[in-house]
Structure 1
Amino acid sequence: MFKKVTESIVKQMDPDGDLVPVRSMLDHEHFRPLCLVRRKKQTTFQRYPRYKQTWYRLEDVLLPGQDEPLIPSGGEQDARQFLIKKTGTDRIDGSLILPIDPTRGELTGAASLANEWSIKLKKNHIPPTKLEALKTERKINTNHAFIQQLQKTGQKLYVVHETIETMEEASYQETSDAEGKFMAQFYVKFCAKGTRKNIQSITIPKGCTLAFRAFQLAISDAWWDVLEGTLGALEAEVKRNCHILSTLSSQLSSILLTAIKAVMGDRNLFQELSHKMEAVLDEGDSDELKTESAALKDLLRLLQQSSAHTLLHMAAAITYTLDALEELSEDQLLLLLESLENKIVSQQLKLVESILKQREHGNGFSADPSLLSFSQERDHQVTIAMLEMSGVKLHEDGSAAGTNEAFSATGALYVSLYVLSLLSKPH
């Protein structure tokens, strides 16, 4: 019955969103803000994803910090109040006559279901910006037994960031009535009549969690991040795979950027660099990092001189970048090279991010019109053309048209722009 209440509330508050009803009142304490949960495999017949409690909170798996709450009370947590009311009465009448000789049967019946309830609710919400600030202050305790178990099994971990809770004790009652009559005419007459009334009720305590939202956590060594939706997952994925690129000096960034630009304009060089990076990842050594290509020599020499740890991380970041670039057309790669030359990739990155964010929030394809303003008309034309090749047609007012397939294609463009912007950024 508790499940019926929570699902009804979710249908009213967020019919097409990602709010998840709590299935059992016994488990509600394990789905509060900052609780860690695991997601079960969802089947096609389940309307909502199902999560399993872990008995841990986020602070339990972080390295010790100052003696204060992880998220201080008060202004750190956004809270809103709601009042949900529902009144319903359903009645069904029916009859059935069966003319079967030498027997005649008649079945009539009626059933009704009535429910009425009112619940005061509160939404607790931890803004992603608070979690973003927290991850820079507190690292994951990689020696924690639970974290080590997750890393061994490869299970995904989620953190609850929003809950719907009761503000006061609430009662829900459901009454069902059924009435039926069966009459059969054999060689003698037989008639029977019956009624049934069923009353079910449940009392929900104050502060009970009825529904929640959760973000996936990305954990790599002691570093962690929150994957907020599809765009959030993409952003975290890029940062995780390309983190080492943000630590490079200006000189090393320039060497890598030169090599990337070279392979963007030469398919043979692209394949050569891709194969060499895959060999490093597969075999873990730098024996194959030799080339006759002048465009790749400096980069491969740099990688040969790196430690084994740095080499693997660099090879992974380069492979990830090449995978994104390979999703783009040759014309898009040429336009990207022109954009690099004209120093507009940072603005293009913000534009693509804006488009992906609006698409994810259900607003269709659109963008901030100010990001479409370039000092040179040619830069504007290049940007529009590059987006159209990913399936997004932009208009001057920021509105756009695109298909669902355009989301993934624009994602590859986002990754490419992110890396190029990072490497070309002045140190």
Structure 2
Amino acid sequence: MTSTFERVVKSVVRELDPKGDLIPVDSLRSSTSFRPYCLLGRKLSSSWFWKPRYKCLNLSIKDILEPDAPEPAVERVASFHIEDLVDGMVQGNVEVKALGQGKFVSGAAVLATASTSMDVCMLKVPLHTWGAMNKERRLRQPEHKILQQLRSCGSDVFVVTEVLQTQEEVEVTRAQKQEGCGQFALPGVLRVQGKGQGHLNRKKTVTIPSGSVLAFQTALLVIGPDWEIHHLQHKDERTFRLPKTGHKPTSSTGLLSQIPLSYFKMRFPSTPVDMVSDGDIEDQMPVTEDFQGLKVEVSVHADGLKGLSGELCGQILAGLMKVLREEPALESLQEELEQGLCCGWVASPDAPGGAILECLVQSSGKVEEELARPILYLVQALTELNETQRALLAEALETGDLSGQSRLVQSVLEQSSPWKEHRAVSLPQELLGSSWDSKAPAWVLLEECGLELRVDVPQVHWQPDAQGRTSALYACLVLLPHLSQDSA
């Protein structure tokens, strides 16, 4: 079963915020980080198909302003009581008869239950508070070291302006019970008969403390001679003023606005595209927001991996295997790669994933951009997945069983494209293997994306908010085999 906390949060946010303005918190561990007035960086993204992620900077707005004083109080603008009960069963029976040869009968049932009851409230920093703070407080001098680092990379800074949080401790339980039985009879001189049955019970309980943030909203912090908060951000607005160049400002969509335009010099499978020219990057990228666009994007980076030697692929794959099961190490590797492509050099070659960084830099420390681009894209896709999915990918890499899973995920994305509506997606039987149940790796990989699957009829219920993680899963399943010694 996928993260109980994550499912609860998405369910509550869908109910209270159908327009999608709020940003769901993706783990219970980080639910205490996104408080009003907290400053956030935004995890960069080199993909159109999964959203940039926010990272807590362990700073509040008061840490960068003077005079030093507590933040003003926030307003409680709304309170809600949420109660959600799911109790359902799916069952099916199959009987196969072969004339004169015997009979096989089987049955299966899946019972799923989930219950949630919680009181939540919306806390918001009033607009007039920002105006008053702007008049009364100035930026500290010298500038905070973290702001200096972010300025050097051209990274944007955001401030939390609104949160949805629990008002009391909540216990959420999800349970799943599977039962199956079968019997067979074979006629002949020696009559053979048999029967069997089995069951599998799975249960998850999570306690969400009072005051945990489930979702939040941000505004852009703009720093010039002074500071101000922009609630409605235009695409060319940035936290720090960029030095004047011969190019028009690029959009602030994640990594696209952080890395020099030379980063985007790439050739699509059939059409050469030179990204170093005037104009917004989105206007020049021939990428559509559907599966065909995702396929083109992944193919570009797959082509970059095809040129690597077998020895280099082996070293990179070995390095990935070391960090794949450790999220902090994987995130640290991502930050080093982003920093390297942004600034042209790697600052901490001894950081987690150092074996990978050594493969991507020259002796002087200068980054080999052509090598680093597809690796960064793959690392970002892996970071988008959760711990369970990354562990399954590590196991599949050891057994070499990735191709069937990539074709299955591709089928789901193709049939559900353009991903904006709920729909039932049938799964080709030839891609499911000998078993299709909640223990199958492909089942778990898809379920952990936030999709609902069925046992009796091989089917996935597509959820639009699963698009980002499912797209990242597809990218990982396509790119990882290119690093194996056999395919290099």
Q: Tell me the TM-score normalized by structure 1.
A: 0.50
Q: Which has the higher helix share?
A: 1
Which protein has the larger Cα radius of gyration, Structure 1 or Structure 2? 1
Bigger relative contact order (CA 8 A; separation at least 6)? 2
